[in-house]
Protein backbone atom coordinates (compact mmCIF):
# COMPACT_ATOMS: atom_id res chain seq x y z
CA UNK A 1 0.00 0.00 0.00
CA UNK A 2 1.39 3.37 -0.99
CA UNK A 3 2.13 5.97 1.63
CA UNK A 4 -0.33 8.92 1.62
CA UNK A 5 2.62 11.30 1.40
CA UNK A 6 3.88 9.46 -1.69
CA UNK A 7 0.46 9.75 -3.32
CA UNK A 8 0.31 13.44 -2.50
CA UNK A 9 3.79 14.07 -3.91
CA UNK A 10 2.94 12.18 -7.13
CA UNK A 11 -0.34 14.06 -7.51
CA UNK A 12 1.34 17.43 -7.06
CA UNK A 13 4.19 16.57 -9.43
CA UNK A 14 1.65 15.54 -12.09
CA UNK A 15 -0.03 18.94 -11.68
CA UNK A 16 3.30 20.58 -12.53
CA UNK A 17 4.26 21.82 -9.08
CA UNK A 18 8.02 22.20 -8.69
CA UNK A 19 9.92 20.13 -6.17
CA UNK A 20 11.03 23.21 -4.22
CA UNK A 21 7.43 24.43 -3.94
CA UNK A 22 6.35 20.97 -2.77
CA UNK A 23 9.08 20.94 -0.16
CA UNK A 24 7.87 24.26 1.25
CA UNK A 25 4.20 23.31 1.01
CA UNK A 26 4.24 19.80 2.47
CA UNK A 27 7.09 19.89 4.99
CA UNK A 28 6.35 19.21 8.61
CA UNK A 29 8.74 18.37 11.42
CA UNK A 30 7.77 14.68 11.21
CA UNK A 31 7.82 14.08 7.46
CA UNK A 32 10.78 16.11 6.15
CA UNK A 33 13.09 13.12 5.60
CA UNK A 34 10.39 11.07 3.87
CA UNK A 35 9.33 14.04 1.76
CA UNK A 36 12.88 14.72 0.59
CA UNK A 37 13.28 11.04 -0.28
CA UNK A 38 10.04 10.98 -2.31
CA UNK A 39 10.91 14.22 -4.10
CA UNK A 40 14.28 12.77 -5.11
CA UNK A 41 12.71 9.48 -6.26
CA UNK A 42 10.22 10.87 -8.76
CA UNK A 43 10.80 13.10 -11.79
CA UNK A 44 8.78 16.19 -12.58
CA UNK A 45 5.82 15.86 -14.91
CA UNK A 46 7.73 17.73 -17.61
CA UNK A 47 10.58 15.21 -17.39
CA UNK A 48 8.14 12.31 -17.62
CA UNK A 49 6.42 13.71 -20.69
CA UNK A 50 9.65 14.58 -22.50
CA UNK A 51 11.25 11.19 -21.93
CA UNK A 52 8.33 8.78 -22.02
CA UNK A 53 9.31 7.30 -25.41
CA UNK A 54 12.91 6.74 -24.38
CA UNK A 55 11.62 5.11 -21.18
CA UNK A 56 9.30 2.91 -23.23
CA UNK A 57 12.23 1.85 -25.42
CA UNK A 58 14.21 0.92 -22.29
CA UNK A 59 11.24 -1.09 -20.98
CA UNK A 60 10.88 -2.96 -24.29
CA UNK A 61 14.60 -3.80 -24.52
CA UNK A 62 14.74 -4.91 -20.89
CA UNK A 63 11.60 -6.99 -21.31
CA UNK A 64 13.04 -8.62 -24.45
CA UNK A 65 16.28 -9.52 -22.66
CA UNK A 66 14.37 -10.88 -19.65
CA UNK A 67 11.98 -12.97 -21.74
CA UNK A 68 14.90 -14.29 -23.79
CA UNK A 69 16.64 -15.31 -20.55
CA UNK A 70 13.48 -17.00 -19.30
CA UNK A 71 13.18 -18.90 -22.58
CA UNK A 72 16.71 -20.27 -22.34
CA UNK A 73 16.24 -21.18 -18.67
CA UNK A 74 13.06 -23.07 -19.60
CA UNK A 75 14.89 -24.92 -22.39
CA UNK A 76 17.71 -25.93 -20.04
CA UNK A 77 15.25 -27.16 -17.43
CA UNK A 78 13.23 -29.13 -19.99
CA UNK A 79 16.39 -30.79 -21.30
CA UNK A 80 17.43 -31.62 -17.73
CA UNK A 81 14.01 -33.18 -17.11
CA UNK A 82 14.24 -35.19 -20.32
CA UNK A 83 17.48 -36.84 -19.26
CA UNK A 84 16.48 -37.20 -15.58
CA UNK A 85 19.09 -34.66 -14.43
CA UNK A 86 16.75 -32.02 -13.02
CA UNK A 87 18.00 -30.42 -9.83
CA UNK A 88 16.31 -27.76 -7.69
CA UNK A 89 19.56 -25.81 -8.02
CA UNK A 90 18.57 -25.10 -11.62
CA UNK A 91 15.82 -22.90 -10.23
CA UNK A 92 18.48 -20.47 -9.00
CA UNK A 93 18.75 -19.31 -12.61
CA UNK A 94 15.38 -17.62 -12.11
CA UNK A 95 16.91 -15.05 -9.76
CA UNK A 96 18.15 -12.84 -12.60
CA UNK A 97 14.75 -12.59 -14.37
CA UNK A 98 13.07 -11.95 -11.00
CA UNK A 99 15.42 -9.05 -10.32
CA UNK A 100 14.86 -7.76 -13.86
CA UNK A 101 11.10 -7.78 -13.33
CA UNK A 102 11.53 -5.87 -10.05
CA UNK A 103 13.69 -3.24 -11.76
CA UNK A 104 11.27 -3.17 -14.69
CA UNK A 105 8.43 -2.28 -12.31
CA UNK A 106 10.53 0.61 -10.96
CA UNK A 107 11.37 1.85 -14.46
CA UNK A 108 7.76 1.72 -15.62
CA UNK A 109 6.86 4.00 -12.71
CA UNK A 110 9.86 6.31 -13.38
CA UNK A 111 11.56 5.61 -10.02
CA UNK A 112 15.08 6.91 -9.59
CA UNK A 113 16.21 3.60 -8.07
CA UNK A 114 15.17 1.65 -11.16
CA UNK A 115 17.56 3.55 -13.40
CA UNK A 116 20.38 3.26 -10.87
CA UNK A 117 19.85 -0.48 -10.44
CA UNK A 118 19.59 -1.06 -14.19
CA UNK A 119 22.82 0.81 -14.87
CA UNK A 120 24.70 -1.28 -12.31
CA UNK A 121 23.02 -4.56 -13.32
CA UNK A 122 23.67 -3.85 -17.00
CA UNK A 123 27.37 -3.31 -16.32
CA UNK A 124 27.53 -6.45 -14.17
CA UNK A 125 25.79 -8.43 -16.93
CA UNK A 126 28.74 -7.70 -19.23
CA UNK A 127 30.96 -9.79 -16.96
CA UNK A 128 28.98 -12.93 -17.74
CA UNK A 129 30.55 -14.71 -20.74
CA UNK A 130 27.22 -15.57 -22.39
CA UNK A 131 26.32 -11.86 -22.53
CA UNK A 132 29.45 -10.86 -24.44
CA UNK A 133 28.16 -12.15 -27.76
CA UNK A 134 25.66 -10.61 -30.14
CA UNK A 135 22.81 -9.77 -29.69
CA UNK A 136 23.17 -9.76 -25.87
CA UNK A 137 26.21 -7.48 -25.91
CA UNK A 138 24.40 -4.90 -28.04
CA UNK A 139 21.23 -5.13 -25.96
CA UNK A 140 23.07 -4.67 -22.67
CA UNK A 141 25.00 -1.71 -24.09
CA UNK A 142 21.68 -0.18 -25.17
CA UNK A 143 20.22 -0.82 -21.70
CA UNK A 144 23.21 0.79 -20.00
CA UNK A 145 23.14 3.78 -22.34
CA UNK A 146 19.41 4.36 -21.99
CA UNK A 147 19.52 3.94 -18.21
CA UNK A 148 22.32 6.48 -17.82
CA UNK A 149 20.65 8.86 -20.28
CA UNK A 150 17.31 8.71 -18.44
CA UNK A 151 18.99 8.95 -15.05
CA UNK A 152 20.70 12.17 -16.10
CA UNK A 153 17.67 13.60 -17.93
CA UNK A 154 14.96 12.77 -15.39
CA UNK A 155 16.96 13.52 -12.25
CA UNK A 156 19.38 16.39 -12.94
CA UNK A 157 21.56 17.61 -10.08
CA UNK A 158 19.89 21.03 -10.07
CA UNK A 159 16.54 19.42 -9.18
CA UNK A 160 18.01 17.27 -6.42
CA UNK A 161 16.75 18.23 -2.97
CA UNK A 162 19.50 18.18 -0.35
CA UNK A 163 18.67 17.80 3.28
pLDDT tens digit string along 35-57? 888 888 999 888 899 999 999 99
The lowest-confidence range among 12-16, 126-130, 137-141 is 126-130
pTM of the model: 0.86
**Cα separations in angstroms, 109 against 50, 90, 94, 106, 119:** 15, 31, 23, 5, 16
pLDDT in tens, 6-37: 888 888 888 888 888 888 888 887 888 888 88
Q: Mean pLDDT for the chain? A: 88
pLDDT at 1: 47
Taking phi first (over 0 means left), then psi (-120 to 50 degrees means alpha), and beta for anything else, what does residue 84 get?
left
Q: How many CB atoms lie within 10 A of CB 46?
A: 12
- How would you label 12-44 residue by residue, b for 16+ Cβ within 10 Å and e otherwise? bbeeebebeebeeebeeeeeeeebbebbbbbbb
How many residues comprise the chain? 163
Q: How many CB atoms lie within 10 A of CB 162?
A: 6
Res 163 pLDDT > 70 = no
pLDDT at 132: 67
Amino acid sequence: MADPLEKQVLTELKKGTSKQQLLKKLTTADNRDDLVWYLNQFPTDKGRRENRWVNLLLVIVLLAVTLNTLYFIAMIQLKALAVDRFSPMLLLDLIVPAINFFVLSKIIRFHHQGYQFMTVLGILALFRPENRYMPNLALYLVIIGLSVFLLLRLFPKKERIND
